[in-house]
Amino acid sequence: MKMMLATLLFTTGSALALQGESVRYQVNGQNYEGYYISPAKDAPLILMVHDWDGLTDYEVKRAEMLVEEGYAVFAVDLFGAGIRPTKVEDRRQHTGELYKDRQKMRDLLNGGLKAAEAKGAKTEDVVAMGYCFGGAAVLELARSGADIKGFVTFHGGLKTPPDQDYAKTKGSVLIMHGAADQAISMEDFAALSKALEASQVSHEMIVYSGAPHAFTVFDSPNYRQEADRKSWHRFLTYLNEVK
């Protein structure tokens, strides 16, 4: 019930009778399973990237919230079809593999975009957004020079690899971070701001007081309703600004 109650705080209007669908696709010969939902054929697309749990009901619920706002969503799968780790060591293994192979991470993100396009999604004006590990992946996509209008992270990983910068970034960047985050430091936050400024990337970075890591995750000990409400509202406003 907590998840539904929290969702109702952010949705407007009547619920849309829409059904999302699991989408099987391949990237470099491997099977992946994303999730696609859209309110209309020409709806602007949001590419959503999951946290280190893999693509779960959490991303599906957030996608449904965005459909209420008129957006299509493709939730990409970065781990593989059927791989939804529940143990910390497994989560670290799967995320660690992608942190070590940045090209694979980029291929998987672009593979998700191609899968969305194959479903008829409008891929000309895309905004990418991600949670936790997914936020780090979104910034990887930004550094790759992807032709995307905006890159948004919620309590995402913020470190820039030593051999990378944001010189190729084409869209603007929105970072939403918790001041009480023990996993991602304010030093990382400040370093990212300097890196974006050095590459003259349009960016906005917001800190929410008292918010720990994963402050948007419903029904978790770290959930902070006020920070979630404010960050979601800023995200929706940002989407209106860039679309």
* pLDDT (0 to 100) of residue 67: 97
41 band by pLDDT with thresholds 50, 70 and 90: confident
Q: Is residue 217's pLDDT more than 50?
A: yes
Give a yes or no: residue 119 inside a domain.
yes
Enter the DSSP assignment of 160: P
User: For residue 176, is pLDDT > 80?
Assistant: yes
Could you tell me if residue 140 is inside a domain? yes
The predicted-structure confidence for 71-113, as pLDDT tens digits, reads as follows 999 999 999 999 999 999 999 999 999 999 999 999 999 999 9
CATH at 197: 3.40.50.1820
Reduced to 3 states, what is the DSSP secondary structure of residue 35? strand
Classified as helix, coil or strand, 172 is strand
pTM equals 0.92
pLDDT given at position 14: 36
Domain annotation covers residue 67: yes
Q: Is the pLDDT of residue 139 over 50?
A: yes
CA atoms of 69 and 15, how far apart (whole Å): 10
Confirm whether 13 is domain-assigned: no
- Domain assignment present for 131: yes
Residue 37 lies in a domain: yes
What is the average pLDDT across 218-235? 97
For residue 218, CA distances in Å to 27, 61, 95, 110 come to: 31, 10, 22, 28
Nearest Cα residue to 135 out of 113, 155, 112, 164: 155
* Token pair in block for residue 56: 């779960």
If one counts the domains in the chain, the total is: 1
Q: What is the C-alpha separation between 72 and 45, in angstroms, rounded? A: 5
The Cα–Cα gap between 61 and 126 comes to: 20
User: Is residue 15 one of the residues assigned to a domain?
Assistant: no
Cα atoms found within 13 Å of the Cα of residue 190, Cβ hemisphere only: 4
pLDDT at position 95: 97
Q: What pLDDT is recorded for position 9?
A: 39
Domain holding 45, by residue range, is 2-8+20-242
Does the structure show a pLDDT above 50 at 27? yes
182: in domain: yes
